[in-house]
Structure 1
Amino acid sequence: MLRTLPGLLAARAAARPDHAALRLVDGTGQGAELTASRWLARSHSVAHGLLDRGVRPGDRVALVFDGSGWLDYAVAYAAVTGIGAVAVPLSATLPESRLRELHEHAGVTATVGSGGWPLSDLDTGRTDPPPVTVDAGHVAQIIYTSGTTGTPKGVAASHGNLTFGLDPARPPLRHSRHAVHAFPLGTNAAQTMLVMALVAHPTMVVLPAFDAGDYARAATEHRAGSLFLVPAMATGLLEAGVLDRDGLGFVELVSCTAAALPPAIAKALAAALPEAVIVNNYTSTEAAPAHTSMVFDADRPASVGRPAGGADLRILTAEGTAAAPGETGEVWLRAGDTARAYHGDAAATAATFRDGWVRMGDLGYLDPDGYLYLVDRESDLINAGAWRVSTLRVEAALHEHPQVVTAAALGLPHPVLGATVAAAVVLRDPGATGDLRTFLAERLAAYELPTRILTVPELPRNATGKVLKGALRELFAQRPARVAPRTEAESALAGLWRDVLGGGEIGVGDDFFALGGDSMRATRLAAAATARLGVDVPVSLVFDSPVLAAQAARLAELAPSRRDAAAPGDGVPLSSTQESMLAWMWATGEPRDVGPISIGIRVRDQLDPDLLERALTEVIGRHESLRTVFDRDVARVLAHCPPVVTRARARDVEHAGQLCREDREGRFDTGHGPLVRAMVASVADDDHVLGLAVHHLVFDGASMGVLLHELGLAYSALRTGAGLPPAPALTVRDFVAYTRDRWQTTLPHWHRVLDGAPANLVPFAGRRTATRLRSAQLEWTLDPALVDGLHRAAAAHGATPFMLIASCWAAALAERTGTDDIVMMSPVPGRTLPGSEALIGCLSQSLLLRVDTSGTPGPRELLRRTRATALAALDHQHYPFVEFYLRHPGAAWLRVESWAGQAHFPGLESEAFDLPRALDADWPTPGGEPDLQAPELAVVQHPDGRVAAHLLWNHHTFERSNMDELADSVTALLAAAVGELDPQSPTHEEQR
């Protein structure tokens, strides 16, 4: 019988009938008491009234009271549970719509209090026990969770659960005559105090609502030996100064619950109440009575302790195994066979309650002594790029600042990183934010620093003092404050951002990637900062510190650059890529051709081929790279090198495309020129296919947008008589000289990374021996949902889609070769100086990416490795590529391209027209050696949003069926990566 609530109340009334179990006091200290015997008698009287009105065991009865009705509520609760019915405690302060919702969810059949039967109407005057037998296994109450992270759930608790560990023969809190709390009705904390009143030694003193002054006054007048708080209440008491002013030296115990007590607050409590024991209890509505308990320890200020009161604790990894000390995993608690359950939600119950264990929804770890440390709520943990940021850690650092009263950290959506850290703070002086970022930078890692800090008069909280993160997000959405640069360094950096991103207002809390930055723009920003600020800025700094204020702080820590600017030379220096191309072209003794960069455009407008030729000649005159020819490995610039523009009549659009393709094949003389060709294949007077091809020796993919832009301007100028804007101030030869000057500093990196790497990816499944080269191609379209998932998954881990695709390509290559040392080759635009984005030339850099796939890494780990490799390569992208390409000729090519809007002739109604990527040429291999080149993967985003993947390979080396298998493998690996890494993926949610 003692394992039921009516059993405990009867035992208390028999042992201490005149003991004041509960005392309700108001702000003046006045109040009323409820003795144990009176509590029992009144509960019997009301119980009979409930039975008379048809309430039966198992019925759900809503108890709707406000704080001033605590004593009546206690009577009603004992009456309902005393007849085997189920109490549903609800606060009368809830909106009517919310009360109706909870009534319906719980299946309430009767209501006592506000909106229902007044307690006085149920008072029959009968004090004999009701004729009902209550068992420990019967459900006693349904209490609703706080709902800080989602829709509140109704948690059903049995009599045995609520009475677990309570023994009237050993009353808790024997050191106190009075214990004070102000927990609101309808919360788990209030229910714990109510049940505690059935057995506790002291009188439980209750306030209708928390007010720091009233609370301290009640504690003083009752000389309370025990205080029960939540962290928000503790902060309120400290901030009001009442702990010092009112001299609460008689307090022996301060017990905090509902949330982790920030170390700074715990330390302040210990200082204000030096004679008291400060205890932090960790549990949840679902887990109670299981809990951990921690007496504040300056050596373990962040720990929430070890299991207490017969509870068990475990930490499980994602695989469901026990975590080692120091290893982060999911926190589970158990208290014997007394587990609770979610009312009416079997699926949620199965996910949270397992074999008596309760999944807490928190991540944490144990130290070697078994003390629990919380990392964060699993739902609050911020996936900021490749980092998982603990809001508890950020909040702990914020609370250390002397001006911070209280604070909350949360994640806000971010288009590249997935989420970014933000914080809301209540300050003693609202204007004292100047040094807050600097203060945090000394305590937090760069990725943990809040990108936005919002000052608010108070934090939105629920009834138990927990911060409502959803309401906070709304505050950030309503106040998208942009703070102007405050220092000279921030102003200078903001100017560089405007140059790279294309203008617009820049604030210190702005995120580079959120404003449209990408890896190419990050490279340009790093180079611009290097050139203008006098420090060597790595590209990785932009990724690791994307917020302007954090970037400026990081730049201030860098050592000054000692590199002198390269002086322009009289010769025509070769770019790194040109060197490698020329070496490949002459490797067999007879010239081979790397071919052109080409594009097709459908023009549904009047197009004048003669005017087009004149415009193209004008553009060539502005760019000496388009007038450059080659005598084996020596470049020279011609004074005049007009293009070849061919006109043809086509039977239909398909024929027009075929003519454009034929025009680009094998028609270039690299020794004499011209190296620019155009084909206008006309289907009608207002329907043409324009094929534009420029030899790769003098042109790259990044040049195409510049060429089309200037060609459109020149075409329009010739029609209207307008002038052209001036040519770029930076010349190709000056830029190439600059890149070659970088070689001496980047070489050590490439030797360190590539020494010992394989020359070729061998063996390769399905490869045949072949001594000739002829391109073949397979194209397939990626599902739009997969593409969206790739972007989200990459952003969530601080990566780019290229990095995620590269990690999957490495995995596919490892599958086909059986090797785990994968070398890939990928081009980047190479435009790293301010103004270089306007240059036309062969300036792209080919990065050799060596990825370790050993140990069968999952998508997360493989992306981490690939990201680190790619960022390091970008930081060292100007290097003598030919030296390393000759050592690793079989590196697998990967191209990830976006032509967003480039396949258009400016000024005319036009659109992209697909030309095949593969060339028709058939060449011998160098020295007649077998071809060991791996297939190439290209992933191309078209202007219409469609993303196509291409495999290109040597027709003589692989069968088409081999490439079909490889294409399937690439697609499957991309899907698997999205499934694990995309925050919106169902698989991802299951794993979390």
Structure 2
Amino acid sequence: MFLQRIANKGIRLGTLFDRAAAKHPASPLILDHELDIAPERGRRLTLTEVAALVDDFASRLWAAGVRTGERVVIHKTNGFDITLLACSTARIGAVPVLLSPKLDGATVAELLRRVDMPFLVTDQAKLEHDLPAEVSGLTRELLLTSGSHEGAIELASLAGSPRTAPARMSPDHPTLITHTSGTTGVPKLAVHTGRTFQARYRPQGTVARLVGANEPVAIHVSFVHSRMFTALPIAVLQGHPVLILRDDDPRTVGELFGKVPPGLIEAHPNTFMRWEELAEDPRAPLAKVKYFSSTFDAIHPRTVHRLLNASRRSGATFIQMYGQSEVGPIAGRTYSPRRGAEAEGRCVGRPFPGMTAVRVVSRDGKAPTKSSPGFIEVKSDGRIVTYLGEHGRWEKQVNDDWWRMGDVGYRTKWGCLHLLDREVDEIPGIDSTLEIEDKLFGRLPELTEAIIVPGPDGRPVPVVATRDDRPLDPVAWKSAVADLPVLAEPVQWRLEDLPQTATTKIKRLELQKHLQGQG
């Protein structure tokens, strides 16, 4: 019944916290950092206080000249106020365009051109250290969340502006624009509407309902990712205390989870990989977790196994959903402690009955198999309506109601979807680079990352990172790869030096270009 009410009303970002506060006024939202727009608020706010903050900054944006239907790019130093500013923007009927703090200045400038003279919400640090001077000529107005800059309007100076009534927008009106990962070049701008977003609640909303309303939900998701705007509404509207994490450092996360033990955690796969060491933490920060949830890329079985065994809850479960920013969650599967390290990591589950559909299209006229995978295509009412400024690229991925994911795989006779690789990451002679990476993780506990990319001669090169940057043991490595396809000698990097997207995915093509001397 709860999820049906959400579906009927749509996402309505602008009044999200008003509605949550009306039901659960004192429910806390706990941060691991201060907000740049309101550092005096500290790290613990009630939903009532958050609602007032969103309303306040909506009035400041209006006072700065932002009007209904206009686009507001938000690109600032990382923090949860990115999400709150998106809600404030939507509250006055404008369209928030979220650009990751990790994007380089040239990419930001290119995306600003596509948005076509938007307002830009940023800060002094970004303007002075990251963004090129040309951004001022690509925007209608520069609005600062902190600091000062010549020609820019400081939002702090607009405190006390008259409040404005929330705008009511059609479900088919753009409600949010996010960007794709950019692993294959300049990111695309994905346009979401209230209607496409509401379709994503049904498969995702059931997860938060699996734990009691008084149990904390911890979220470590990129503040500019579409997943934040489904995970967060579900959690606050159901009344859960919510922990919002900017930092994924296991030491600080372990301390926070020790004080506020979550019953459910939503995070990126690479974040969960980093949190494997929390399983050995004497404070037992994962002891009360009932559900781990990840709605991004397939996760390595080793990570699942370690996290589940760190929980002391009966029936602890890892819920993995396969999806994409453009379509939302498409298929899902669960892991139990018994089905962890030995599970088939390439199996990403089955579609959600009555909500999503999956097919695998042959590339050679034969039924797709592991050795001859096909193109994965999906159906979902949560699909974006276009790529802003690049509708032709959007059309190339659409075939009637089917959307090509850019992945290759096959389905078993039992209907389980197996994801083998991204189309652009395939290496001749290897069935699945992802499968090899799964095996390396399972056999070498010291690995914190392993990526297989083509080297200068076309041979697959393993790029690896280890815990505490310890040198890779050559004897252990030789044993681990003995039954695998022939690989080049491993190349060891520091984890923090690997090129990453906003959701901490490794940019494989960028890494490949570096190895081939093109970067």
AA paired with 2:453? L
Q: What residue number does 1:465 align with?
A: 504
Q: Read off the aligned partner of 1:408 and give its amino acid letter.
A: I
**CA deviation after TM superposition for structure 1 residue 374, in Å:** 0.7
Task: Specify the code of the residue in structure 1 equivalent to 2:435.
Answer: R
| Structure 2 counterpart of 1:139 | 174
CA RMSD of aligned residues (A): 3.2
Instruction: Determine the C-alpha separation between the residues in 1 that align with 2:310 and 2:488.
Output: 34
The reply on whether 1:25 has 2:68 as its aligned counterpart is no
If the length of structure 2 is used for normalisation, what is the TM-score?
Answer: 0.79
Measured after TM superposition, the shift of residue 312 of structure 1 is: 1.7
Q: Could you report, residue by residue, the CA deviation over 1:122-167 in whole angstroms, capped at 9, with x for unpaired residues?
A: 544545523x321111111111111123221111111222232548
Which of the numbers 310, 328, 332 marks the counterpart of 1:272? 310
Look up the SS of the partner of 2:481 in the other structure. helix
Name the residue aligned to 1:360.
Answer: 405
**Does the alignment pair 1:450 with 2:503?**
no
Which residue of structure 2 aligns with residue 90 of structure 1? 99
Structure 1 equivalent of residue 245 of structure 2: 207
Q: 8 Å contact 2:355–2:380 — kept in the other structure?
A: yes
1:409 match? 452
CA contact (8 A) 1:62 1:88 kept: yes
Distance in 2, matches of 1:92 and 1:426, equals 24
Residue 38 (str. 1) matches residue 49 (str. 2): yes
Alignment of 1:555-574 (within 5 A): none
Which one is further off, 32-41 or 161-170?
Answer: 161-170
Listed as ranges, the gaps of 5+ residues in structure 2 are 1-7, 35-40, 128-141, 146-154
Q: Among residues 461, 473, 481, which one is paired with 1:422 in the alignment?
A: 461
Cα contact 1:406–1:425 (8 A) shared by 2: yes
Deviation at 1:2, TM superposition (A): 1.7
Residues 508-530 of structure 1: per-residue CA shift (max 9 Å, x gap)? xxxxxxxxxxxxxxxxxxxxxxx
Deviation at 1:407, TM superposition (A): 0.7
Q: Does 1:395 align with 2:437?
A: yes
Alpha carbons 1:412, 1:421 under 8 Å: kept:
yes
Percent of matched pairs sharing the same residue = 24
SS at structure 2 position matched to 1:389: coil
Residues 427/73 of structure 1: CA separation in 2 closer, same or farther (3 Å cut): closer
Paired position in structure 1 for 2:381: 336
8 A contact 2:288–2:312 mirrored in 1: no
The CA deviation string for residues 71-97 of structure 1, in whole angstroms up to 9 with x for no partner, is x33332112112222111224454433
CA separation of 1:212 and 1:332: change in aligned 2, threshold 3 A:
same
- Judge conservation of contact 2:375–2:408 (CA < 8 Å) in 1: yes
Distance 2:333 2:239 in 1: 20
State the SS of the aligned residue for 1:434: helix
What does residue range 719-798 of structure 1 map to in structure 2 within 5 Å? none
| Aligned with residue 156 of structure 2, among 88, 101, 120 | 120
Give the AA of the match of 1:412.
Answer: G
* Counterpart in the other structure of 1:129: 165
Over 3 Å counting, the alpha-carbon distance change for 1:455 and 1:312 in structure 2 is same
Contact 1:59/1:109 (8 A) holds in 2: yes
- The equivalent position to 1:378 in structure 2, one of 411, 423, 440, is 423
**Distance of 2:324 and 2:272 partners within structure 1:** 19
| Cα offsets for 1:172-193 (capped at 9, x unmatched) | 4543621223333323444444
What letter matches 2:98 in structure 1?
Answer: P
Which residue number corresponds to residue 74 of structure 2?
Answer: 63
Deviates more, 1:289-298 or 1:98-107: 289-298
* Residue 83 (structure 2) aligns with: 74
Aligned equivalents of 2:384, 2:514: Cα separation in 1: 37
Distance in 2, Cα, partners of 1:401 & 1:319: 33
TM-score for both structures, normalised by structure 1:
0.43
1:284 corresponds to which residue?
324
- The 8 Å contact of residues 174 and 200 in structure 1, kept in 2 or not, is answered as no
Contact 1:44 1:126 in 2 (8 A): no
Q: Aligned equivalents of 1:320 and 1:34: distance in 2?
A: 57
Counterparts in 2 of 1:311 and 1:235: CA distance versus 1, 3 Å: same
Distance 1:338 1:173 in 2: 26
Question: Any idea what SS the aligned residue of 1:382 has?
Answer: coil
Between 54-63 and 168-177, the greater mean CA deviation after superposition = 168-177
Output the CA distance in 2 between the equivalents of 1:109 and 1:328. Answer: 43
Q: 1:253 aligns with which of 287, 291, 300?
A: 291
C-alpha separation between the residues in 1 aligned to 2:505 and 2:185? 13
Which residue identity lines up with residue 120 of structure 1 in the other structure?
A: A
Structure 2 Cα separation of the partners of residues 203 and 250 of structure 1: 15
Choose from 307, 314, 330 the match for 2:358.
314
2: distance between equivalents of 1:217 and 1:23? 13
Structure-2 change in CA distance of 1:401 and 1:245 (3 Å): farther
Amino acid at match of 2:60: G
1:672-717 deviation digits (Å, cap 9, x = unpaired): xxxxxxxxxxxxxxxxxxxxxxxxxxxxxxxxxxxxxxxxxxxxxx
- Counterparts of 1:520-669 in structure 2, within 5 Å, are none
Q: Is the 8 A contact 2:273 2:303 kept in 1?
A: yes
User: In structure 1, what is the Cα distance between the partners aligned to 2:287 and 2:42?
Assistant: 24
Query: Cα–Cα, structure 1 residues 351 and 478, in superposed 2: closer, same or farther, change >3 Å?
Result: closer
Q: How has the CA–CA distance of structure 1 residues 360 and 200 changed in structure 2, closer, same or farther, with 3 Å as cutoff?
A: farther
Unaligned runs of 5+ in 1: 480-992
* Distance of 1:392 and 1:93 partners within structure 2: 25
Question: For 1:184 and 1:169, how far apart are their aligned partners in 2?
Answer: 19
- Point out the more displaced range, 325-334 or 315-324: 315-324
Is residue 434 from structure 1 mapped to residue 475 from structure 2 by the alignment? yes
Q: CA deviation at 1:263?
A: 1.8
Distance in 2 between residues matched to 1:190 and 1:165, nearest whole Å = 12
Q: CA deviation at 1:266?
A: 1.9
Residue pair 1:313, 1:331 contacting (<8 A) in 2 also: no
1:2 corresponds to: 9
Amino acid at match of 2:328: A
Give, in angstroms, the shift of residue 107 of structure 1.
2.4
Deviations 1:163-216 (CA, angstroms, capped at 9, x unpaired): 325489987454362122333332344444444445343222112222111112
Partner amino acid for 2:494? P
Q: Alignment partner of 2:474: what SS?
A: coil
Report the 3-state secondary structure (helix = DSSP H, G, I; strand = E; otherwise coil) of the residue aligned with 2:425: coil
Asked if the contact 1:287–1:339 (Cα under 8 Å) also holds between the matched residues in 2, the reply is yes
Q: Is the 8 A contact 1:255 1:279 kept in 2?
A: yes
Instruction: Give CA-to-partner distance per residue, 1:719-765, whole Å, 9 cap, x none.
Output: xxxxxxxxxxxxxxxxxxxxxxxxxxxxxxxxxxxxxxxxxxxxxxx
What is the deviation of 1:230? 2.0
Q: Distance in 1 between matches of 2:88 and 2:269?
A: 32
CA contact (8 A) 1:212 1:233 kept: no
Amino acid of the structure 2 residue aligned with 1:394: I
- Alignment deviations for residues 848-904 of structure 1 (CA, whole Å, 9 cap, x no partner): xxxxxxxxxxxxxxxxxxxxxxxxxxxxxxxxxxxxxxxxxxxxxxxxxxxxxxxxx
Q: What amino acid is the match of 1:301?
A: E
Query: SS where residue 215 of structure 1 aligns?
Result: helix
- The residue that corresponds to 1:153 in the other structure is 188
Match among 315, 324, 335 for residue 295 of structure 1: 335
Residue 456 of structure 2 contacts residue 515 of structure 2 at CA under 8 Å; is this kept in 1? Answer: no
The answer to whether the 8 A contact 1:364-1:373 is kept is yes
Per the alignment, do residues 368 and 325 of structure 1 end up closer, same or farther by CA in structure 2, a change over 3 Å counting?
farther
Greater relative CO, 1 or 2 (CA 8 Å, sep 6+)? 2
CA distance in 1, matches of 2:87, 2:193: 14
- In 2 relative to 1, CA 166–468 (structure 1 residues): closer, same or farther, beyond 3 Å? closer
Q: Which has the greater radius of gyration?
A: 1
- How much has 1:240 moved relative to structure 2? 5.9
Cα distance, 1:6–1:293 mapped onto 2, change above 3 Å: farther
